[in-house]
Amino acid sequence: MKITLVKKILADGSPCKKCGDVLNKLESNDQMKFIDEVLVADERDPQSPGMKLAGELNVNRAPFFVVERMGEAPEVHTVYFKFVKEVLDQKTSEKEELKEIMNDNPDLDYI
Amino acid sequence: MSQLLDTVDLDKTLQAQSPQEILKFAIETFGNIAISFSGAEDVVLVDMAHKIDPDVEVFCLDTGRLHPETYQFIEKVRNHYDLYIDILSPDGDAVRELVQEKGLYSFYQDNHQECCGIRKIAPLRSKLLEVDAWVTGQRKDQSPGTRAQIPVIQDDKVFARPNGTLTKFNPLANWTSKQVWDYIRSNEVPYNSLHDRGFISIGCEPCTRPVGPGQHEREGRWWWEEATKKECGLHATNIDN
């Protein structure tokens, strides 16, 4: 299994805050050891490895994780807690999960 | 069937179709589908779906903080269409913990995310584990900041079952508020009486207020908070290139 993390650089050259938050969580939870490769999706450069991968996989959010297993189609995870639960098989707190969902999906405000 | 849907290609096709056509496609494609009804003008979806399938499943998120008028309206819709409406309640222990720790109006001090997470998103997540597809009344014109890019159909990775898929339909994505209200009036669809008192967008009672002429409906919700800047999206133009 190969796990790739794609993080984003915004069009103005600044780092994506959400990507930083996820990287911090990966570091503090000792989960970076599971990440085989980190690619950058630079919004200023459509040819940057992360932007190309996002295009190939039809992903329109960042950060995201790509899980590749032998003989299977790549699996994309755009939600950190789901990635942790389903791929790393580790526990997360519901409070943190709900917080991440709310912060990442402001369109849910009007549901 | 859901496993085989290419939602990106389908979205390009469905974007040009009417809400009724999109709903028909959704209902005929997915047997296990449910419509999210907030007790506001998204009642048009209920009306349209009921004409396609009178037994269509509808669910409501009862946060426990809705206006009395909204509860009355939900009941009116249930009776009017003779529908089964699944009323979802938040987890009592989670609400109790929040209220004991932060009081009944914590959202005015911090923000609405924590309360909405407990009262709305947690029950929604549980409900969506039961279905293969769901339908919302989300429209692009509801909030230019957060809804400008919503597709008509999307692969819902947030609420999908582990190792499963969930498809989300937003049939009203391209409709304006005026089109929704033209439909309500021309089809004599029942509506929430709060709309007659200046409420455009209707949510929980403490977080909803009427708006005046010229104000965007977004100004009637969480007005004490600054609009948050969404920055999780990858710029579509760049990806397309």
Domain boundaries along the sequence of chain B:
2-240
pTM of this structure: 0.82
Would you identify the CATH topology of the domain B2-240?
Rossmann fold (3.40.50)
Q: Give the SS3 label for residue B152.
A: coil
Question: Please, which pLDDT band fits residue B239 given cuts at 50, 70 and 90?
Answer: very low
Q: Which of A38-47, B41-50, B135-144, B178-187 has the lowest mean pLDDT?
A: B135-144
Query: CB-based contacts of A12: which residues, under 8 Å, 6+ apart?
Result: none
| A72 close to B (CB below 8 A) | no
User: Among candidates B132, B119, B45, B65, which has minimal Cα distance to A108?
Assistant: B119
User: What's the pLDDT score for residue B5?
Assistant: 67
- Which ipTM was obtained for this model? 0.77
CA distance to partner chain B, nearest, from residue A33 (Å): 23
B59-79 per-position pLDDT tens digit? 999 999 999 999 999 999 999
Q: Which residue has the tokens 């409070």?
A: A95
**A96 neighbourhood in chain B, CB within 8 Å:** none
Measured CA to CA, the distance from residue B26 to residue B178 in angstroms comes to 24
All domains in chain A, ordered by first residue: 2-110 (3.40.30)
Of A11, A85, A102, the CB nearest to B235: A11
Nearest residue of chain B to residue A22 (CA atoms): B232
Q: Is A109 on the interface with B (CB under 8 A)?
A: yes
Q: What is the pLDDT of residue B146?
A: 64
Residues A40 and A9: beta-carbon distance below 8 Å: yes
Adjacent-strand bridge partners of A64? A6
Please, is B52 exposed, middle or buried when counting C-beta atoms within 10 Å of its C-beta (0-12, 13-18, 19+)?
Answer: middle
Across the interface, of B138, B163, B231, the residue whose CB is closest to A110 is B138
pLDDT at position B234: 60
Q: Residue B226 pLDDT more than 70?
A: no
Q: How far is B233 from chain A (nearest CA, A)?
A: 4
- What sections of chain B are H helices per DSSP? 7-14, 19-29, 43-52, 68-81, 92-102, 106-109, 113-116, 122-128, 144-147, 177-186, 236-240
Q: Is residue B154 helix, strand or coil? A: strand
List CB contacts of B223: < 8 A, sequence separation 6 or more: B209
Residue in B closest to A101 by C-alpha: B158
pLDDT tens digits along A17-55: 889 989 999 999 999 999 999 999 999 999 999 999 999
Examine residue A63 and say whether the peptide bond preceding it is cis (omega within 30 degrees of 0).
yes
* Partner A, chain B 53-82, Cβ-Cβ below 8 Å: 61
**What band does B2 get if pLDDT is binned at 50, 70 and 90?**
very low
Residue B204 is a catalytic residue: no
Does pLDDT of A94 surpass 70?
yes
